[in-house]
Structure 1
């Protein structure tokens, strides 16, 4: 039963995908919601900034992909998605290779056009490595694609992305590595793929239509005041910060983006090129107009520079090694004791989510709470 002293049923901290989907579901079912956002804009990391008519993915590129038709239909009920297929390239010593690893890559690297020959070559390299029970990312990758592909495309890129040696990273990070013995440059295997026409802002605006939203509001700084305005809090921020870092900081990797407008129609001819050498300071260059097949006279490119997370900068990738996983478990035990707070999303669950996964999680949590109300 609603506490009549509270103005809202739900205070939702964060207007990213989890918070926005949850707010939409609750609002649709007659619940009153207030969404607060620390940034000056809504949308979290899927926010797009319009520069000369180009939707720039401000916090890194986001490609929506899923095999779940229900999730696909849900997103399309708020915005139309185009037919964009993510087919990035890799740059190694100024040579370009197709990604993900497929027959085009193998031909470019070895001049092998026979799938069986490519498979044998990789199997021989795996056998020669002598690794039977991989214990870290490096060993796992070599067991999947052999030593040459690992050294050319994975080692340098991964070590600068994570700021750690590949031998110090958990093998789980690399287990989703796609390898194909077909000439197929589609990075994802999912049946449904695309980019919202007009950018992700249209999706977030659709989800939050009719919902009260306040930007430039920091929940942590105003916790005492805000905690009393609603019956329940949906918290999507950093879980360790919610508990005042009782067990210390959880670790993340962060990113620095260098956006540049160029007075030319086409810079690199593809949405993304990964730079796999360790001595190249950025991991990739993104050219945003290609996500929506833009015909603008100019273009915007973004270089992504990985960096260690420190307080005050955005946290992007949780470092799910043994040390941080054990620390997170302590925070999650505290979260279970909060009967009026729901923790959801990448930062609150210290977990990497694809977009379709975070949407599914928010839909599931909303359904559960509606059944209990």
Structure 2
């Protein structure tokens, strides 16, 4: 395999791995690199020293309405059905989240049916027109009190910004329900890879046309500059040496803990703490994986400004800066940019797979 007829793919997460598989099956030779010492990107999972399957980079829960994407990934894994549930803790009391009828009844001592819950939201909402910010979205939907109890401080912790400073799409991702459905997602397919994400990635990259190298930085490889094409899934501003300045990202610090004498710590996979603590949430992995174990392993998430880029910060000025980098990217004849960091977009996992499949189809022709 010579570099002249090889495609270099930078990043072995969902975007890079799906692209690698698609190009390999089309007869292309692929050199896939990642600066981390493993494949799988942020979805990488591993067994901790106590034998519990954990997600080092925070919980990754697969959900999609796309049969095509579900069937595509099913080539590389069996599935474990899993419906994620979340609770939000206010003053020591646990409430269903996203907000539903049961949340209202428990919080306010009411006995609302679905129609009553709808009437309640209509009565307390603060109509906003136009809806521009995340604050607008929530106030327009559930009003001031629920906004301040569940959203305001959580958003400040998560983003380091007030909801009024963030685009509407951030809050629009979180539904409000008049029924008692306490699932976090309502997608048709809600599953977890039966043997973990890493095993799924290993199967995806198991192809004679794919050569994988980890602990390899793109900066050193790009100087060779004799690949027939580069597919880049890393931060787009880094690719262009931050020539217009760095794009803002929000990062996370993860605090993992094992509790050897606790079989189950939480009633649900994730508990949110909108108003207490420096962390935003605690996730208990055995809920997600269905694993049986005498102990349990959890992770606390602490949002921060510095560190690995996790979330593009959705503000108009950041989008404008990204568009400048995107204009440069379009001038790169032998490079393709795909993925959350390369497209400065908050993708769910299934959306990354969809974007990678579409991009691969264009490249293969």
TM-score range, shorter chain: over 0.9
Could you tell me how far apart the structure 1 residues matched to 2:302 and 2:18 are? Answer: 30
1:111-260 equivalences under 5 Å are 111-126=110-125, 129=126, 131-210=128-207, 211-225=210-224, 227-228=225-226, 230-260=227-257
Could you tell me how far apart the structure 1 residues matched to 2:147 and 2:284 are? Answer: 26
The answer to whether the Cα contact below 8 Å between 2:127 and 2:139 also exists between their aligned partners in 1 is no
Match of 1:47 in 2: 44
Change (3 A) 1:216 1:5: closer
Match of 2:330 in 1: 336
Q: Which runs of 5+ in 1 are unaligned?
A: none
The answer to whether the Cα contact below 8 Å between 2:132 and 2:167 also exists between their aligned partners in 1 is yes
Could you tell me how far apart the structure 1 residues matched to 2:128 and 2:231 are? Answer: 45
Match of 1:71 in 2: 69
Instruction: Tell me by how many angstroms 1:320 deviates.
Output: 2.2
1:369 aligns with 2:363: yes
Match of 1:266 in 2: 264
The answer to whether the Cα contact below 8 Å between 2:127 and 2:140 also exists between their aligned partners in 1 is no
Instruction: Tell me by how many angstroms 1:160 deviates.
Output: 0.6
The answer to whether the Cα contact below 8 Å between 1:42 and 1:204 also exists between their aligned partners in 2 is yes
Could you tell me how far apart the structure 2 residues matched to 1:341 and 1:142 are? Answer: 43
Instruction: Tell me by how many angstroms 1:130 deviates.
Output: 5.8
Could you tell me how far apart the structure 2 residues matched to 1:275 and 1:6 are? Answer: 50
Instruction: Tell me by how many angstroms 1:77 deviates.
Output: 1.2
The normalised TM-score by structure 1 is: 0.93
CA deviation vs aligned residue, 1:241-298 (integer Å, no higher than 9, x gap) = 1001110000000000000111121111321101111x42000001011112221011
The normalised TM-score by structure 2 is: 0.95
Aligned residue for 1:342, secondary structure, equals strand
Change (3 A) 1:11 1:222: closer
CA deviation vs aligned residue, 1:33-80 (integer Å, no higher than 9, x gap) = 010010011110000121123211111111111111111111111101
Give aligned pairs, total: 360
Q: Which runs of 5+ in 2 are unaligned?
A: none
